Structure 1
Amino acid sequence: MSLAKCFALIQYPVPHHLLSRLVGKLAECRQPWLKNALIRAFIKRFKVDMREAVEPDPTAYATFNDFFTRKLKPDARPLGEGLLCPADGTLSQFGAIEADRLLQAKGHRFSMADLLGGDEEAARRYRGGSYANIYLSPRDYHRVHMPLGGSLTEMVYVPGRLFSVNAATTDHVPNLFARNERLVCHFDTEHGRMVVVLVGAMIVAAIETVWAGQITPLSGQVQRIRFDTPVRLERGEEMGRFKLGSTVVMAFAGPVGFDDTLAPKTKVTMGQSLGGFPSLALIER
């Protein structure tokens, strides 16, 4: 048995939420000697480039979480053309949504309906559309931005486990993104419906959005919030952030022409162009 498979299997009995909450409390510690030691060790271990940050001094952050969700300089991530990458990370998989199925990793697919918290009606909007999964490693910039301008119409919190979402786990844990705790954000855009799913993971203490603050953890039930007055966010604008690493899954009702230079496991940065749309016409599903 490979080390990667062993790592995936030993996560099943681990108390994911308890471990994540304990790490979350540590990440909010304000004792200077402790939080500075944690930050310096993290920068050294993951080779974080602090020159990109608005505040390059590691000791200036009040907590480890403040450092982890640090803001970058305005010119650090220029916006490209067409569809934008929403975060720094690895483009793990992307392509067409085939019969309601998205590719997680070789040999593993998951359903759109399961990803959206069992919402079959919403899943039907994306049949024939496209998707992309972006994995954020610990060293990456952890704010998530809008791939397109859009109006938020509904937010759905879906409870679940908190498996790691690194390559070893995605290769060996079926339906991973549809198992983990996640926040589903539905948008209307000029290219049709778009959904951006912020997937929680091991030791991710919380997910925050710019419109509602901290979202997770909530309860053990699916919670839906409709916005009678949609929240408008522009292309490239921040929409949320992870407190420690995770994955973004985004899907579109229409087909996306992904850039020919992209391939699974490609490193990407927030604001990078991922491709474009064949038509500007609004696609109703």
Structure 2
Amino acid sequence: MMTVTEFRLRRILAQLGAQEDLNFLLTNRLPRRLATRFMGWFSRIEQPLVRDLSIAAWRLFCEVDLSDAQEARFPSLHAAFVRALRTDARPIDADPAILTSPCDAILGAHGRIEAGRLYQIKGLSYRLADLLGGDEGLAQSHEGGAYATLRLTAGMYHRFHAPHDLRVESVRHIWGDTWNVNPIALKRVEALFCRNERAVIRLAVAEAGHAVTLVPVAAILVAGLRLGFLPEGAALRRTGGRTLATSARLGKGAEMGWFEHGSTLVVLAPAGFDLRPGLVEGARLRVGAPLMRLPDPVASPML
């Protein structure tokens, strides 16, 4: 005989399941590329009424804080999405032993890279080499290292920054789909990050040249990534998947690029890096906050 409490609990769970079904249907079963192209066009409209109504709708449905933005007003919804912040808005942890969060984000799956795999969400793993476009050598270089999945919601600050003093060694754009990257989709679409459009940004971090990799992953209504340190940064899709060599040097906290909506950034570090103690899934991070600790300098590899 089911108790009243058990009945209510099952009813709540059924309602939550229905809401998840609806969310997944609305954000993934529509023509994703078409919706993304439309949003890219619509968000750039600078007509005052369209701008004001679209920004108002965005703020109604998303948790948006524009109080730390560099500008007080924006010509379009897109300009608000990719807003710059005041120079003092994100203090950067100056400790040279710390790799900082490159973006404002909600921490998703994180931990140690083992047997060439990492987690998309609890219970669902994927091959690192697949995320990296089949680069088995690069995947192997991160074996035993740490990783963190950083999800940017639609209302967050969308620019990302250098997590340490570094040299950008190469960038490779990988074509793909535009699945939503929210937790509901992550539970239902196997190897989702490996299916979506993304870039692989290889870094040499700190004086020791630790091989850290950033993988920005696009999503529905996004599929736009800009890299300020590259001449091709505004047109990565036209590079045909070629690996673009670069020797750009950036100081810790310097801007690297931006997403054109919310998305995900996967941080991959080699063995010897440790995630900051106390990090839990769902934690909110900001640019410049401690994310990982670098290896002991005594054990660091030489360039």
| Both structures adopt the same fold (TM-score exceeding 0.5) | yes
Paired residue secondary structure (2:188)? coil
Work out the percentage of aligned pairs sharing the same amino acid: 30
Pairwise CA distance, 1:9: 6.1
Q: Bigger shift: 41-50 or 20-29?
A: 41-50
8 Å CA contact 1:206, 1:215 repeated in 2 = no
Q: 1:241 aligns with which of 233, 240, 258?
A: 258
Separation in structure 1 between the aligned mates of residue 24 and residue 190 of structure 2, nearest angstrom: 10
Query: Which ranges of structure 2 fall in alignment gaps of 5 or more residues?
Result: 1-13
1:109 and 2:125 equivalent? yes
1:62 and 2:75 equivalent? yes
Paired residue secondary structure (2:52)? helix
1:110-136 deviations in Å (ceiling 9; x for gaps) = 111111111111111111111111000
Q: 1:210 aligns with which of 197, 205, 228?
A: 228
Separation in structure 2 between the aligned mates of residue 248 and residue 218 of structure 1, nearest angstrom: 21
1:213-269 deviations in Å (ceiling 9; x for gaps) = 3245447x5332123xx1111111111101011000010123322222211111111
Q: 1:201 aligns with which of 204, 209, 219?
A: 219
Pairwise CA distance, 1:13: 4.7
Separation in structure 1 between the aligned mates of residue 43 and residue 223 of structure 2, nearest angstrom: 9
Paired residue secondary structure (2:38)? helix
Pairwise CA distance, 1:5: 5.0
Q: Bigger shift: 38-47 or 232-241?
A: 38-47
8 Å CA contact 1:90, 1:135 repeated in 2 = yes
1:189 and 2:209 equivalent? no
Pairwise CA distance, 1:70: 0.8
8 Å CA contact 2:161, 2:255 repeated in 1 = yes
Match of 1:72 in 2: 85
Pairwise CA distance, 1:186: 0.6
4+ residue segments displaced more than 6 Å? none
Aligned ranges for residues 1-285 of structure 1 at < 5 Å? 2-3=17-18, 4-5=20-21, 7-8=23-24, 13-56=29-72, 60-80=73-93, 81=95, 82-190=98-206, 192-212=210-230, 213-218=233-238, 222-227=241-246, 230-280=247-297, 281-283=299-301
8 Å CA contact 2:226, 2:258 repeated in 1 = yes
Paired residue secondary structure (2:248)? strand
Task: Letter of the 2:55 partner, please give it.
Answer: I
Bigger-Rg structure (1/2):
2
Pairwise CA distance, 1:89: 1.4
Higher strand share: 1
Higher helix share: 2
1:56-115 deviations in Å (ceiling 9; x for gaps) = 2xxx31221111111111121111241101111101021110111011101111111111
Q: Normalising by the residue count of structure 2, what TM-score does the alignment of the two structures yield?
A: 0.86
Task: Letter of the 1:123 partner, please give it.
Answer: A
Task: Letter of the 1:210 partner, please give it.
Answer: G
Query: Which ranges of structure 1 fall in alignment gaps of 5 or more residues?
Result: none
8 Å CA contact 1:129, 1:255 repeated in 2 = yes
8 Å CA contact 2:109, 2:122 repeated in 1 = no
**Residue-pair matches, total:** 279
Task: Letter of the 2:283 partner, please give it.
Answer: T
Change (3 A) 1:283 1:93: farther
Paired residue secondary structure (1:156)? strand
Paired residue secondary structure (1:214)? coil
8 Å CA contact 2:173, 2:237 repeated in 1 = no
Pairwise CA distance, 1:188: 1.1
